[in-house]
Every structure is written in structure tokens, then in C-alpha cells.
Amino acid sequence: MAEQAAVLEDRAEHDRDDDVAVVAVGAEIAPGYRVAEHLRRGDALDVYAVFSDERLCSCVAKVVRPDRAAVERVRRRLAQEGFLLQTLTHPLLVRGLATFTQPEVVVIMETIPGPTLEEIIEDRASRLAAAELCHLGSQVAAAAHYLHQSGYLHLDVRPSNIVSHGGIAKLIDLSLARPAGPVPRGFGSHLYMSPEQATGSHVTEAADTWAIGATLYEAAAGIGPFDAHDAADAAVLDRDDYLQLRRPAPPLRRFGRRLPSGLAALIEACLHPDPQLRPSARAVWQGLQEVLTHLGPAEPAAPGLAPGQPVDGPASP
């Protein structure tokens, strides 16, 4: 009950104004790290570009918002994320560089100089080609598989948490990562969370598979499977309800996408309402690799998602 109340509190905070001051440019946010730019503000956290005096390069710092600094739950979750980012190392996961816990919790991460998948989808006039979707999905599935092998679920895979650069798509933001088990209702991002997250049930690796499917669906169609597709959908979302509990994902062909049958079937399988019937992250990776072997010459690629770049296979911890 306490964790459920915390989720509701986070949503209430999101609806408040964001006039709380940010750390000034040039100020030291942690020993040896000075603020260069405020990048974004979330429900509980601020993200900054910082310069490292030790490394003589740009890094990214994640800190608790000033108006949430006294909330122990938020501080603990950020410290846990810092621990995971420095402990779990994979080429397709953002790399943690340092974690400070006093006087404030600050997590320092590598800078990934590229757009998020969300930005690629929004900025691109045409949809991602099948080969691009396969390369993207393979890399996200590989990172998720590694997390699962390490005993954690990501629970927030979505286009804004995938950053692409130089043919590599990296999964970022482990702020919700935890072992399999029960979660409070609505634990995750509204449009991408699995039905079991929406209802507050027991979550397994299948919750991340669902989110991978929702992400690939949006990259293929230009609209998420549980965005509002009509007035009835909009009414459900306006009630802060979950479309994934009300209807299945519409077929991708509704949006004019003619994908290889194996790719469309795999995306649909990821979005199966029964978590036991979804493929594992490894199976998603394997299925996408099989589709790639049957594709013809690659089409022009979106920035950072170029077919032909190496795709790392699932790694063990």
C-alpha cells in the first residue's frame, strides 16, 4: 500500500508546476563535476550535462529534484540506480561512472551523443525500415536479456529510454529496475507498461518483452499500440485508465506497414496479454536475427540505426 501511494504521489508531482530552481551553470553538483546545462526534469529527478575535472570530458548527472530531496524513497531509488549502472556492464547499457550519496545523491553517467528513439520517430518523415527495426530490436533485447540474467527487470523500456549513436542503440534509465515480483498498480510508463504492471500484479521478464514489442510497434507504425487511435481510446486515457487492459494492439497493417511476416508476428507475440505466452528477450533477439537473414539489401537507415553495424548477441553476467 505504501508503494502504491508513492506511485500516486509521483503522478501528483508530475501535475504540479516546474518552477523549482535548477542548479546554476558552473556550480559544482558533485565533487569534480560542474554543471554545463540542465537537460530535463522528470517527476522526481533532474538531469544535467556536467564537465568532469578528473576525466576532462562531458558527462551526465542525475540528481533528485530540490523539492523532492527530503523524500527518502526517491533518494534510495536513485542510489540503487547508480549501483546498478556501475555493477552491470554491457555494451548496450548506459555506463555509470560514479555515485555520490552525501550530502545529496548524484549519479554520474557517460554521455551518449545521439538522439533518442523517440526523437528519431518524431523527426523522420518515413517509418523505420524492416532491417532497422531488426537491428534496433536486437540490441534492446540483448540489453534486456543481460539484465534478466543478472536478476533484474528494466520495467521502463520505451523510445525515450533508448539512445542511438553510430549504429548502436543503448538502453538507459534503470530507475525502476528491480527483481521479478509484485509491483504497485501503474508501476512504469503509462503507454508502454505491461498489463501486469498496470494492474499491480507479479511481474517477470515478460513485462520487458511487452515493452520491447510496444517500442518496436511504435517505431514501425509511428504511433504506439496504446496511444489514442480514436475517440473511444482518448476517453479511456482521459480517465487515466489503461488501453492495454481494454483492447489488443491493432494490427500493424492498419497503418500501411507491410513488414516481413516473421517480424510482424514477433512484435505481436511480444504484446500477447498472457505473459506466459510472450517470448523471452533471448527469443526476441533470435527471432529478429532470423528475419535479418531473409531480408534483401538494406534500405537507407535512420541516424544511428544503420543496418550492417555489429549487433551484440545476448551476454551472460
Global pTM reads 0.88
Give the pLDDT confidence of 126-173 residue by residue, as tens digits. Answer: 889 999 999 999 999 999 999 999 999 999 999 999 999 888 999 999
Query: Which pLDDT belongs to residue 302?
Result: 46
Q: Residue 129 has what DSSP assignment?
A: P
Q: What is the C-alpha to C-alpha distance for residues 151 and 37, in angstroms, rounded to an integer?
A: 35
Q: How open is the CA angle 115-85-140, to the nearest 5 degrees?
A: 50
Residue type, 290: E
Domain positions in the chain are 2-110, 117-294
| DSSP code of residue 173 | -
Examine the pLDDT at 68 and tell me if it is beyond 80: yes
pLDDT at 72: 93
pLDDT for residue 98: 96
- Residue 4: per-residue pLDDT: 52
- CA dihedral 286→290→291→292, nearest 10 degrees, is 100
Residue 18's pLDDT is what? 58
- What does the pLDDT read at residue 42? 87
Question: What value does the mean pLDDT of the chain take?
Answer: 89
Which cell goes with 73? 524513497
Q: Please tell me the chain's helix, strand, coil percentages from 3-state DSSP, rounded to the nearest 5.
A: 40, 15, 45
Q: Indicate the CATH number of 2-110 among 2.40.240.10, 3.30.390.50, 3.40.50.720, 3.30.200.20.
A: 3.30.200.20
How far is it, in rounded angstroms, from Cα 152 to Cα 177?
A: 6
Fold classification of 117-294 (topology level): Transferase(Phosphotransferase); domain 1 (1.10.510)
